[in-house]
Structure 1
């Protein structure tokens, strides 16, 4: 009989090289502190015939050691590459997962835009095709073109109508800044056609999205990163939020692209005053809860979402993007060590809640495993 619960964390690895090793090290240690036998593994480590898994745990001084572990009670999925071997494992029925598979970003945006509870927060978004940029520029002075499968601000451009010309700013796949000025909407269409062809990420497509005026600081884009997670009782709660302020002249605010993390209340109080800033904060929290509920109804059980939220110059709140496997480094970079520690511990606490629930009654989720 087991003396402690067993938690597996599914991730990509090559040898002893893991994706997001800093976060995963902290996640394993959080699991151990909370009394669970916790380890990392990848799809190639599963021996379903013998019900054994080769797992990896951090060692003092850095690095990882591997050994055989018992079959996990619950698995937290942090695998970010949609490769066939991973997808087969996700749909194999071998494990109870804390979080279900998620749809592609553009499909999620498309679905949310039709949901009565959340559609008023969604900017107009269409899948890129010839003529779509021109059509969007007829109605909006700012338009974004971005990959439907992108992360970290890669391959995104912002198109701004400025009098008799258009200014295009963006970052390519390597996060190098790009800027050009064009004299007609036809030349913009031609430029974007080449950009989409050259800056595509894998086999992904591009989205054309209504631009928002997020320059709460002149010539600098700002947005909000909000983390909503399930607690140890299985209920949704906003763990924390922060503002990402992009560098001068940049079209993105991402921390990878030079963005600066700032306290939500300090930034919004300065821009809108305390009373309005509080209203904006409450709306962001309401948005996060509504989106979490809608997405869980659609995809099955989830445990956390990172939301990129835009607050425009008039104080209107917009949902830009949802990430089901979010980072949480903004809190450590803001110096908020308490929220950072909580953001790491909550996935483990929720997984342990599932272990406890499945021990007392059969845990049923008919949508588990749906793509």
Structure 2
């Protein structure tokens, strides 16, 4: 971890940066913040340790929004302060109390991390950019409240768009393309994953394809019947779905010669229905949906706890300051009664591994297998998907034979597991690592641009 420096203000000096004397060998003539770069003077002070001092005019010229903590990145004759991280999203309100509604608290907590990780974080949308003047009118969260600020274009953009519809908007696509191509600003977590695309790329990778359940896109009635005969149960999932919405579990009972379906209806109730045939099921439960937009996935007999309730696991994989994958959070999700998924909104509950596995050996074995799988899957996805990926949320399962399976990979993982009181440290770590990865991308862009944009 690199050293973090506090920025202090000098009202006396003019166009000057005062650094600790250990940096006097650096041949410096420019200071940069975000994409702004200005000529200035540098002096050195032996008494300074983890502090740098800037003249007031430089702070104003570079649009540094507050006297925060910074990393020092040296490249040729320029000292770069930051990183300046722009969180890009949509859905802004007119309220300064909650500029992005319910998500305001999440972003406020993320911004609070900059004091421990170093750097500056602000929130902005497409309409906040002034392309002619090269500045952004965004939001910061400081001292208990949101404030509007004007800052330069950032060193890196952290994509936190709320949904696929927004992501595919023409204006959003233009902003993303322009900041990357015209300004060479790296943009990480650039898009939502498509379940089928991820399945296809992982199926071709021998290091991870053993974790994949049998899956097909746009299944036919014959395929559904064949998979039901093989696995006794199957899942039908929207290829571009999220939050467990629109998911059906189908079970065929040989004894009764009927089909059972579990799903969550439009009134958010878990439903179990019985049908005499597949045609009957599709006619009554699938009438507003298209089978070509769905995947079929084999049913798996998962590990069960409590009153025979199935459990799967959410793992948050994040890149750190070295650009390496690590597992920042791991928790179990126990399905609610009658639920087709383990999502909390379907009645699921979050459990720590200590709560799931009473035996320490079982707990450590599960942790090892799940963590190993998630790291391998992260590396595989990262190597095959375009763009910079800084975090992935995995839904993994363990079957009754101890085999690990992947059910889903999310590029914009939800944070519902962090409602558990014993997962506060993990919640903190995932946010911290996101900002550490932003520093990694910033340093790479400054020092090795040819590697970033080759």
TM range (shorter): 0.7 to 0.9
Matches of 1:363 and 1:23 in 2, distance apart?
A: 34
Residue 274 in structure 1 maps to residue 360 in structure 2: yes
Larger Rg belongs to:
2
Range 230-239 or range 83-92, more displaced: 83-92
1:131-142 correspondence runs (5 A): 131=221, 132-142=223-233
Q: 1:252 to 1:338 in 2, by over 3 A?
A: same
Structure 2 counterpart of 1:147: 238
Q: For structure 2, list consecutive stretches of 5 or more residues without a partner in the other structure.
A: 1-30, 34-80, 94-98
Equivalent in the alignment of 1:104: 194
Larger relative contact order (C-alpha < 8 A, sep ≥ 6)? Answer: 1
Deviation, structure 1 residue 99: 3.4
Q: Distance in 1 between matches of 2:278 and 2:136?
A: 56
* Cα 1:231/1:332, change in 2 over 3 Å: farther
CA distance in 2, matches of 1:358, 1:71: 14
Say whether the 8 Å CA contact 1:123–1:209 is kept in structure 2.
yes
Q: Separation in 2 of the partners of 1:366 and 1:100?
A: 16
Counterpart pick for 2:208 among 102, 110, 118: 118
Give the alignment partner of residue 261 of structure 2, picking from 143, 165, 168.
168
Deviation at 1:304, TM superposition (A): 0.9
Higher strand residue share: 2
Query: Counterparts of 1:145 and 1:260 in 2: how far apart (Å)?
Result: 23
Q: Distance in 2 between matches of 1:219 and 1:190?
A: 32
Query: Comparing 343-352 with 210-219, which one deviates more in the overlay?
Result: 210-219
How far 1:60 sits from its partner (Å)?
A: 5.0
Q: For residue 173 of structure 1, report the CA deviation from its aligned partner.
A: 5.0
Scaled by the length of structure 1, the TM-score of the pair is 0.88
Assess, with a 3 A threshold, how the Cα gap between structure 1 residues 175 and 313 changes in structure 2: closer, same or farther: farther
Between Structure 1 and Structure 2, how many residues are aligned?
358
Deviates more, 1:100-109 or 1:242-251: 100-109
Residues 243 and 343 of structure 2 are in contact (CA less than 8 Å); yes or no, is this contact kept in structure 1? yes
Superposed CA deviations along residues 231-267 of structure 1, whole A, max 9, x for unmatched, are 1222111112000011122111112222111112431
Deviations 1:128-183 (A, max 9, x none): 34414333212221111111222222111111223322221111355332221123
Say if 2:37 is the partner of 1:37.
no
- C-alpha separation between the residues in 2 aligned to 1:247 and 1:55? 41
- Of 51, 75, 87 in structure 1, the residue corresponding to residue 157 of structure 2 is 75
2:289 is aligned to 196
Distance across 1 between alignment mates of 2:101 and 2:176: 19
Alignment map for 1:1-371 (pairs within 5 Å): 1=31, 2=33, 3-15=81-93, 16-18=99-101, 20-58=103-141, 60=143, 64-81=146-163, 82-84=167-169, 85-92=171-178, 93=180, 94=183, 95-101=185-191, 103-131=193-221, 132-162=223-253, 163-164=255-256, 165-172=258-265, 175-191=268-284, 193-194=286-287, 196-197=289-290, 205-214=293-302, 216-217=304-305, 218-267=307-356, 269-270=357-358, 273-300=359-386, 301-362=388-449, 364-365=451-452
Moved over 6 A (4+): none
Q: Are 1:130 and 1:193, in contact at CA under 8 Å, matched by a contact in 2?
A: no
In the alignment, the residues of structure 2 paired with residue 186 and residue 293 of structure 1 have an alpha-carbon distance, to the nearest angstrom, of 41
- Any idea what the Cα deviations from partners look like across 1:265-319, whole Å, max 9, x if unmatched? 431x24xx43344233212111111111111111243111100001122322100
Q: Structure 2: how far apart are the matches of 1:187 and 1:263?
A: 41
Q: How many angstroms apart in 1 are the aligned matches of 2:177 and 2:224?
A: 38
Following the alignment from structure 1 to structure 2, what is the Cα–Cα distance between the partners of residues 153 and 220?
17
Name the SS of the counterpart of 2:227 in structure 1.
helix
Q: TM-score, normalised by structure 2?
A: 0.73
1:9-40: CA deviation from partner (whole Å, max 9, x where unpaired): 11122322356322211112212443312101
**3-state secondary structure, aligned to 1:13:** coil
Structure 1 counterpart SS, 2:376: helix
Give the whole-Å Cα distance in 2 for the aligned partners of 1:189 and 1:249: 20
* 1: CA distance, partners of 2:453 / 2:378: 18
